[in-house]
Chain A
Amino acid sequence: DTGVSQDPRHKITKRGQNVTFRCDPISEHNRLYWYRQTLGQGPEFLTYFQNEAQLEKSRLLSDRFSAERPKGSFSTLEIQRTEQGDSAMYLCASSFSQGSNQPQHFGDGTRLSIL
């Protein structure tokens, strides 16, 4: 059973650098979500894709953030000109599109540390 895969698991970078994370959802899942989790808090919604269409972006997603899902399969999240406040765990989740209460399945996340 292949779950949601995220790469890299850890990223350490200097302030001002650009970073890109990748998420591979469960293969049958059309819905893909990105969340951000800061230390001691629950995850917060960032953005949602239905196939390749980005249907919602949170106001947490400033103009330094961009997400894509070019072929409706894997997704990337890029942060430009990173800041200290970007340090967090970035989680990807996917779910079936049939039905409105399908549970979301999470990857192990990418932990970003800004020096």
Chain B
Amino acid sequence: GDSVTQMEGPVTLSEEAFLTINCTYTATGYPSLFWYVQYPGEGLQLLLKATKADDKGSNKGFEATYRKETTSFHLEKGSVQVSDSAVYFCALSEMRSGGYNKLIFGAGTRLAVHP
């Protein structure tokens, strides 16, 4: 079945450092890809998405490019802030016959940014 693999955390960075969180996927079709962020005690918030190969999703300084040839969707940010500390989840949408999609998540990567 479809699956998502993320780099293990925690990732610890100093403020203003460059961030990369690796994500690769296995899928039989052509899924959409997502990054969600989860702050302590909260649910998941959609950070960005890409729906087809070579699409770049971006939001709040974060970017990720859908790479079909390497089946990857790595998350990057040029300069992280303390407020970016959270758990980041990579996910793909598995299309179902009823026209809806269910999300398949990676295990999550915890990011800790210190001043």
Q: How far is the CB of B2 from chain A (nearest CB, A)?
A: 11
Cβ contact within 8 Å between A43 and B42? no
Contacts of A97 in B (CB 8 A): 100
The size bracket of the interface on B is 20 to 34
Q: How far is the CB of A86 from chain B (nearest CB, A)?
A: 19
Cβ contact within 8 Å between A109 and B43? yes
Check A42/B107 contact, CB under 8 A, given A4-B43, A101-B51, A109-B43: yes
Q: How far is the CB of B75 from chain A (nearest CB, A)?
A: 14
Contacts of A100 in B (CB 8 A): 95, 99-101
What is the 8 Å Cβ interface bit string for chain B, positions 88-107, against chain A (1 contact, 0 not)?
01010101101111111111
Q: How far is the CB of B38 from chain A (nearest CB, A)?
A: 9
What is the 8 Å Cβ interface bit string for chain A, positions 91-106, against chain B (1 contact, 0 not)?
1010001001101111
Cβ contact within 8 Å between A108 and B49? no
Q: How many A-B residue pairs have CB under 8 A?
A: 66
Interface: A65 (CB within 8 A):
no
Q: List 30 A-B contacts (CB under 8 A).
A: A6-B43, A33-B102, A40-B108, A41-B107, A42-B107, A42-B108, A43-B103, A43-B105, A48-B102, A50-B100, A55-B96, A55-B98, A55-B100, A56-B96, A91-B43, A91-B44, A97-B100, A101-B32, A101-B49, A101-B93, A101-B101, A103-B34, A103-B49, A104-B103, A105-B46, A106-B36, A106-B44, A106-B45, A108-B41, A109-B43
